[in-house]
Amino acid sequence: MNKKKMIATLCTATMAAAMAAVPAFADGEVTVKYSVTFPATGVQADGANVLGELISECSDGRMKMEFYPSSQLGDKASTFEGLGIGTIEMTECAATDLSAFNDMWSVFSLPYLWESGTQAVNTVMDDEVKAYLEADAESHGFVIIAWTDIGSRSVLNSKHAVQTPEDLKGLKLRCMEDAVLANSVNAMGAIGTPMASSEIYTALQQGTIDGLDHTPSVIAANGWQELCKYFSLTEHFTIPDPVFVSKAWFDNLSEENQNAILEAGEKFTDKWNNELWPAATDEGLKVMEEAGVEILEVDKSLFKATTDPVVEEFLSNASDGQKELYDLLTRVRENY
């Protein structure tokens, strides 16, 4: 059984039991454990702290968030399992990670699906798309409370300047553990190397990988600019991140506390996308430049041309759910 099927099987098998087993909460303080893979510093950690403040504020102090960064409560698979059984209350992940439960979410892995992170997050927050995605997430035991723009991923590497796909040949680039993402990196000319984010720094030090793709603020937060000095603005993947809570846990909250969580998520979505993330992107580029990273403009059409066959192959073999979501996203994105 592959990793994605294992995660989905674990959560599906335990969700029904969890919903019956999790007790209703009294009017006392409710703890919300927020388990994530990102580090304890940087814009995502700053955002987590803001979300915690909003949860407390919107619940008039009835709810308190406990922040567990750097996979302290386990990797994504463990966290998904925890949400399924109600032992972890909240997490965030790339939208592609939810393909462990329904393959339609793999559509978010497609390269050059969006013109920008802003277009991506506005599309998924469109009423029609939002309802579609939230319904599927809830069927697997998750209640999405926020959508966050995490920008567009570009190539960071330690070897040499990359300005064309030809320059990527032979470079081992870490990618998220998703076949479409790996195939896209390979099509661009590099050697896609699926790997957990927690392993990246050590892998760069040891030469297991030559680089990765990510956004400036996340690069700066993880210190990868200390090891890689070339950043090429390919902007090939744009994958928004949902923040979600355990449905087993949510369904056993009082209506008042449910509304508080949803309100906090809505306020966080606005603050993150319109204040925190734009400022962090500028700051991330500044940190990288100060660390001596060369920021390289590229002709993105050259890189897109190499990945078009990946998109075509994906769509030719897509499931009905994948085709339906792809059609929905590409139709609605025209509004943004």
Mean pLDDT computed over 163-185: 94
Determine the pLDDT at residue 12: 46
Mean pLDDT computed over 288-303: 98
pLDDT band of 26, cuts 50, 70, 90: very low
Determine the pLDDT at residue 18: 42
- CB-based contacts of 289: which residues, under 8 Å, 6+ apart? 295
Q: Give the CATH architecture of domain 3-149+239-284.
A: 3-Layer(aba) Sandwich (3.40)
Q: Residue 154 has what DSSP assignment? A: E
Length of the chain: 336
pLDDT band of 4, cuts 50, 70, 90: low
Q: Which of 242, 82, 67 is nearest to 149 (CA)?
A: 242
Is it the case that residue 17 has pLDDT exceeding 70? no
pLDDT band of 20, cuts 50, 70, 90: very low
Determine the pLDDT at residue 275: 96
Statement: 152-238+292-329 belongs to CATH 3.40.190.170: yes
Is it the case that residue 28 has pLDDT exceeding 80? no
Determine the pLDDT at residue 178: 86
**DSSP string over 54-77:** HHHHHTTTSEEEEEE-TTTT--HH
pLDDT band of 133, cuts 50, 70, 90: very high
Determine the pLDDT at residue 238: 97
Domain boundaries, the chain: 3-149+239-284, 152-238+292-329
* Dmax (CA) of the chain: 61
Determine the pLDDT at residue 2: 52
Mean pLDDT computed over 100-127: 96
Mean pLDDT computed over 37-42: 91
**Lowest-confidence pick of 21-25, 83-87, 176-180, 272-276:** 21-25
pLDDT band of 176, cuts 50, 70, 90: confident
Cα–Cα distance measured from residue 215 to residue 151, given in angstroms and rounded to the nearest whole number:
6
Mean pLDDT computed over 224-252: 97
User: Per residue in 46-56, pLDDT tens?
Assistant: 999 999 999 99
Using the Cα atoms of residue 5, residue 237, residue 43 and residue 225 in order, give the sign of their dihedral: positive
Cα–Cα distance measured from residue 186 to residue 208, given in angstroms and rounded to the nearest whole number:
17
Is it the case that residue 1 has pLDDT exceeding 90? no
pLDDT band of 21, cuts 50, 70, 90: very low
Half-sphere exposure of 242 (CA within 13 A, CB side): 23
Six-digit token string for 326: 């792809």
Determine the pLDDT at residue 196: 87
Is it the case that residue 70 has pLDDT exceeding 70? yes
pLDDT band of 222, cuts 50, 70, 90: very high
Cα–Cα distance measured from residue 128 to residue 37, given in angstroms and rounded to the nearest whole number:
30
Q: Which residues pair with 32 in a beta bridge?
A: 65
Is it the case that residue 171 has pLDDT exceeding 60? yes
3-149+239-284 against 152-238+292-329: fold identical: yes
Q: Which of 62, 71, 81, 77 is nearest to 34 (CA)?
A: 71
